[in-house]
A and B are shown apart, each in its own frame.
Chain A
């Protein structure tokens, strides 16, 4: 069943005459993992932000249905409660807010919205240890302030850790692989693969084919100029790696 249905999505920047998305169509089923690739400025991260509900973007046309409901009707925190998770490209620092405190608030807020009981402190801490172990995350990280003084790699791994804790139904990874060395990349990929248990859908936004060697996608979409210019199976990534994006642009132009 379709978890996410994006139809003819047009998006601009609030109060400005700028269009970023020009008619995106995309359907993601529960259990599936789709990669979204494309050159800089093609609208990949904007799509992620719109899905999460960032206010500076304005939906001009089209619709997004999540689990059959109109996603655009929901506030960002309601989307999170409904199971939409965004792994940020640039996770922000929250000085003085401990990871434990932050995640406990977040997990319980999401659980409450889903009609589940709050976790006791003991249960929560145990879950936190388990998930950190599963991702090979240094337990010390959970004692520090959210993202404060984290290295680039730690920040990205921390996003995946939060994904594991919040158990979303739709996980969007916004260039989680960028700026990672090979060890960190593998660690992030391992985490994602462990969480890929058929109960959720993934949108993996990336610049590079590299991560798709470790996280094998069901589909790959190439975005250009705010549209999905081409979709294909995992082999498309290799073609892109070899030939770049320009040939797609030429094809699209020729077809128009």
Chain B
């Protein structure tokens, strides 16, 4: 690679984090550390039913045992200091309590924050049929489009509200896809989860709009532990968008969410994520968000389908494997991912497709892009059980390197216990070629335009899976990530 090109590709990362500002809202914060008192404090603050507190406490004891046992997660291709679990505050809520009847009651500061993020909540009402359940820190502050959803019988609420108003549904499904014993972070989340979203789509209903939630981490040293549960009854369809940005903070911020999806017979859930949290200082890597998330979907009924699409551009450390358990016959699982790391960012992400039902099918398309000294790993598992006749999987994992000092790794795990399974895995690693750049230059495109075009093309297979309005945002975000100090 020629010198100027290398300089350019290296220089691109120097841009400042665009969403690094901090909203000045009084917050009440729980004392640091993971204790039974803190768990009780959270449950009390949120005025939760007794059954939920008990569930939290069971999870708490499990989490505490694992922490006290000195558990570490060292199998991932990540190098960072494990969070000090007793120095973290596990709950904070905006002081002016949540649940506003109308958008007029939401404090101006919060609305301004969303405006600066380019998410004018007020306009959302008039816009493309996206209902927004805005999560500022841990408590839901505004929900729109309630009426239209109500008509169809779709429930779209904060997790806290749902636990109070629809306890029978929440209790039936909560923890069935990701039990609190699943992993350390899932255990912590189950003990101290702050809030999140709950979606329920009744039988035969196609949700009339894309459901969208914007998360934001806002308090210094506060971990945010959302919990999302989506249930699609037989024949239902829902598309859910999760978009994230966080303000610039000095301390590492732990973000350990749990997302559970349940699709019954003939139901389909499409879950899309854009994650753009503060990645830390580009030169030292200090101060970024730790994004350690457990996301899993259960294709419970025959002929059901769950599809994960993600664009991961933020966080200092990302570790997440949105997975699908293909229990129903003829069920379909999909995973489309773009992970972009630059500066000192590290990502170890991928998926797990567990084929249990007959004629189940899964597709994995993963695109990793690394710049500067960033490290980007794909880790994926395809597992075919003994009775999963005619299971089929196709995996494609492509990596692109934008400089000489970054890394890309692929760790595919394949386990087949049924001879009729068809599993295909393809992997490529490429550098943005000087030839490709020159070809673009010769057609009149400058460094930045050329690089944007090539990277966007590389990600096209994944971006096209995003809902239209999200795809535009995703392309914009990738462009911003690629902008730098060109000559």
Contact = CB atoms under 8 A, between A and B. Distances in A.
A205 B456 CA distance: 34
Contacts of A85: 442
A97 B454 contact: yes
Interface string A135-152: 000000000011000000
A86 interface: yes
B445 A77 contact: yes
A92 B441 contact: no
Contact of B457 (A53, A80, A88, A145): A145
Contacts of A53: 441-442
Nearest to A113: B444
Contact of B442 (A56, A80, A95): A80
A153 interface: no
B453 A92 contact: no
Interface stretch (A60-68, A98-106, A212-220, A245-253): A98-106
B439 interface: yes
A96 B461 contact: yes
Given A92-B433, A92-B435, A80 B441 contact: yes
Given A56-B2, A92-B433, A92-B436, A106 B454 contact: no
B186 interface: no
Interface residues of A, number: 32
B438 A102 contact: no
A109 B456 contact: no
B458 A95 contact: yes
A81 to B, nearest CB: 5
B479 interface: no
B444 A106 contact: yes
A206 interface: no
B280 to A, nearest CB: 29
A96 B446 contact: no
Contacts of A162: 443
A185 B439 CA distance: 23
A94 B436 contact: yes
A97 B453 contact: yes
Q: Which of B442, B457, B458 counts the most A-chain CB atoms under 10 A from its CB?
A: B442
Contacts of B459: 96
Interface in A190-249: none
Contacts of A103: 443
B435 to A, nearest CB: 5
A77 B441 contact: yes
B387 interface: no
Interface in A86-131: 86, 88, 91-92, 94-97, 101-103, 105-106, 109-110, 113
B4 interface: yes
B460 interface: yes
Contacts of A81: 444
A70 interface: no
B443 A80 contact: yes
B48 interface: no
Given A91-B439, A96-B460, A166 B453 contact: no
A91 B435 CA distance: 9
A71 interface: no
Given A54-B438, A56-B2, A106 B445 contact: yes
B444 A109 contact: yes
Given A55-B4, A101-B453, A92 B439 contact: yes
Given A56-B2, A94-B436, A109-B449, A166 B457 contact: no
A149 B429 CA distance: 19
B444 A52 contact: no
Contact of A77 (B433, B446, B458): B446
Interface string A68-82: 000000011101110
A92 B442 CA distance: 12
A110 B456 contact: no
A54 B433 CA distance: 13
A106 B443 contact: yes
Given A76-B442, A80-B441, A94 B2 contact: no
Nearest to B443: A106
A46 B483 CA distance: 33
A79 to B, nearest CB: 8
A80 B449 CA distance: 14
Nearest to A90: B435
Contacts of A113: 444
Nearest to A88: B439
A91 B442 CA distance: 11
A81 B438 CA distance: 14
A101 B453 CA distance: 9
A75 B444 contact: no
B457 A110 contact: no
A239 B454 CA distance: 46
A103 B449 CA distance: 12
Contacts of B453: 94, 97, 101-102, 105
Nearest to B5: A55
13 contacts: A53-B441, A54-B438, A77-B445, A79-B442, A86-B442, A92-B433, A94-B453, A96-B457, A96-B458, A105-B453, A109-B449, A145-B457, A166-B443
Closest 6 A-B residue pairs measured CB to CB?
Answer: A96-B457, A96-B460, A97-B457, A76-B441, A106-B443, A80-B444
Interface of B: 2, 4, 433, 435-436, 438-446, 449, 453-454, 456-461
